[in-house]
Copies of this chain bind each other. A is one copy, B any other.
């Protein structure tokens, strides 16, 4: 497929707990909540799992939608209507992916009853309820994971202005028709962006997975085991990578100086790391990097990929010895896989011939790019050769 940003791509979405500077919140007095009807059975998908629970990069789709709503700080509560048989599944999702501000209610037999149950939970002014009564409720499909803050702001503002707070404003669905018929209020239709598409068929799951992979591959961090030196092979590789990865933000530097910088890069949600080892065939630098990533909890929401790059210089170290050393990557990779960190090794030939070296580096850059973009756990612990 041709490279380039996806039509639906944007900056990587911050995870829970990290808030970007987004559009201004509606008037600070406005209390907004969201209800997600998620009682569907996913018949059209052709798979036994309801589509909101289908896995995309091994995480259920609904978790992406919750993440999109949670990063909007002015949405105070999110209520999910879920069937009784999926209640425990949903509780596990909330715990595993550390969702905050999410409450569960039981779904009704129809989508409208599910919405009604969510609204009722928000409206009840019980002393033991942790929910606060909102002025505006956004009803959002659990299977529209790519909703953006500005879209939600438009909906909330329109709802406030038009006084209709309990129905769905998406694209003139049956909810809008019901509101028009029974509520005697003037409904406002808010234009949606193409990003707001709904995961309906299995092909939409494929598309969602590709879009998410592309989003989390928009920033890569290159860590070097040497100080800066424009001439060495690590920097040549970096230049190749920058050529391959158009539109991708690349930051680089030595790990020994980069402790604090790296914390900042992790906070900015960089999910792709290339650890370039020029000086040694050991994994010490890679281990340090992986430990920092483990401590950061960065990999709770997305798989973090780490590629440990080594060079094979025929002069200095014997091939077999080096290979044996590098095969240790399998054990390390197995260990960190548990934490959703995908570790692969790459050995780049370092021939004396300048043209051949350029070929090796170019091939290495292609392998790195593919590992980052595909982010496939089947290749962890492999030692690839370029």
Q: Which residues of A contact B (CB under 8 A)?
A: 1-2, 4-8, 44-47, 49, 54-56, 194, 197, 201-211, 320, 323, 327, 330, 366-367, 369-370, 374, 376, 378-379, 381-385
Contact = CB atoms under 8 A, between A and B. Distances in A.
Q: Which 4 A-B pairs have the closest CB atoms?
A: A206-B210, A370-B378, A203-B207, A7-B202
A320 B374 CA distance: 31
10 contacts: A1-B205, A5-B46, A6-B46, A7-B46, A194-B201, A210-B210, A366-B378, A367-B378, A382-B384, A382-B385
A320 B381 CA distance: 19
Chain B CB within 10 A, most for which of A1, A208, A327, A367: A1
A7 B376 contact: no
Nearest to A378: B370
A376 B378 contact: no
Contacts of A206: 1, 6, 206-207, 209-211
A204 B202 contact: no
Give the number of times this chain occurs in the complex, counting copies. 2
A334 to B, nearest CB: 10
A249 to B, nearest CB: 19
A209 B204 CA distance: 12
A191 to B, nearest CB: 15
Given A54-B2, A206-B206, A379-B370, A385 B7 contact: no
Contacts of A209: 1, 206, 210
A206 B214 CA distance: 11
A47 B46 CA distance: 31
Contacts of A374: 374, 376
A66 B370 CA distance: 30
Nearest to A49: B2
Contacts of A56: 1
A7 B210 contact: no
Chain B CB within 10 A, most for which of A56, A320, A366, A382: A382
